[in-house]
Amino acid sequence: MASTHVVQSTAQTVRSGYLDPAAEPVVVIEPGDTVRYPDTWTHWGNEATYGMSFADREPLRHRYPHGSYSMLGPVEVTGAQPGDVIECSITKLRTIGWGWNSFPLGVGALPHDFAEPYVHYFTFDDARTAAEFTHGITLPMAPFLGVVAAEPAGDDQVSAILAGAYGGNLVLRDLGAGSHLFLPVAKAGGRIWNGDVHALQGDGVVDQTAIETAAEDLEVRYDLHKQVGLRGPLGETDTARIAAWLRP
């Protein structure tokens, strides 16, 4: 019988901005088990709060030099070995009640169009179907996980801003509830991390961020496929399969 495990976000289970090979597993599960992550943290160790100005947020960038994403993990899957694949199925994703979009100067697709850095806050309805941009203007929500990773080989810390054969910062808006992400295993147990919850994103992060948020409730089921030979992350939805192109 498959089991459901609960992993809370704490100072012991979260790393800000990186995957930590030295971290003890937050939970060891059997293939087919589900992990529930209630009340995940916002960026910068849960110190990003509603209404902070851009200037108020700047000290957080220095306090957390590895990066902003609150990475939760690792989850160890019993029996997973290099050459295997772990299938991460997102079975539930409900955001918290608010989020934000922001960018510093000189980045994104329109770096010369703005004289000041920017942060804008959104509030979400109770059903988590609509994000209010401003009075009377709402956007339909489509929450997804920005970062899901199977820890790559080696003992070095890995930036959560990066992506590769192990997954990582894919920022793939298709990875919402009902989707599946297949990740190659590079270490015993797989050591899966997740973080960077988004409420909505277009075709890309034009100004460097989507609507950034956190999860009030997140559930992921982890299945193990033995010796599949997958070379990079593969996403699957009801309508599409999404493969990463990797140089030989």
The pLDDT of residue 239 is above 70: yes
Which amino acid, one-letter code, is at 35? V
pLDDT for residue 4 is more than 80: yes
Alpha carbons 134 and 92: distance in angstroms, whole number: 28
| Burial readout 200-211 (b: 16 or more C-beta within 10 A, e: otherwise) | bbeeebebebbb
Q: What is the average pLDDT value for the chain, to the nearest integer?
A: 95
Q: What is the mean pLDDT of residues 79-99?
A: 98
DSSP per residue, 145-197: EEEEEEPPSSSS-EETT-EETTEEE---TT-STT-EEEEE--STT--EEEEEE
pLDDT number for residue 247: 60
The pLDDT assigned to 245 comes to: 67
**Model pLDDT, residue 159:** 98
Calculate mean pLDDT across residues 179-200.
98
pLDDT digits (tens, 9 = 90+) for 143-167: 999 999 999 999 999 999 999 999 9
Rounded Cα distance, 231 and 166, in Å: 9
Q: Average pLDDT in the 115-144 region?
A: 95
Segment 127-139 mean pLDDT: 94
Question: Which residue shows structure tokens 């989020």?
Answer: 99
Structure-block tokens of residue 192: 């899966």
Residue 118 clears pLDDT 70, i.e. is over it: yes
pLDDT given for residue 111 in this prediction = 82
Which DSSP letter does residue 56 get? H
pTM exceeds 0.85, yes or no: yes
Token pair for 25? 């597993």
pLDDT at 44: 97
Whether pLDDT at 114 is above 60: yes
Query: Residue 135: pLDDT band by 50, 70, 90 thresholds?
Result: confident
List the strands of the sheet with 85-95, edge to edge.
4-6, 34-38, 215-225, 85-95, 180-184, 234-236, 241-243
pLDDT band at 113 (very low <50, low <70, confident <90, very high): confident
Distance CA 12, CA 34 (A): 20
Check residue 246 and give its pLDDT: 62
Q: What is the mean pLDDT of residues 16-41?
A: 98
pLDDT band at 184 (very low <50, low <70, confident <90, very high): very high
Domains of the chain: 4-96+141-193+214-243 (2.60.120.580)
Q: If phi over 0 gives left and psi between -120 and 50 gives alpha, with beta otherwise, what is residue 232?
A: beta
- Predicted confidence at residue 60, as pLDDT, reads 96
- Tell me the CA distances in angstroms from 77 to 67, 144, 221, 222, one per residue in order: 27, 23, 11, 8
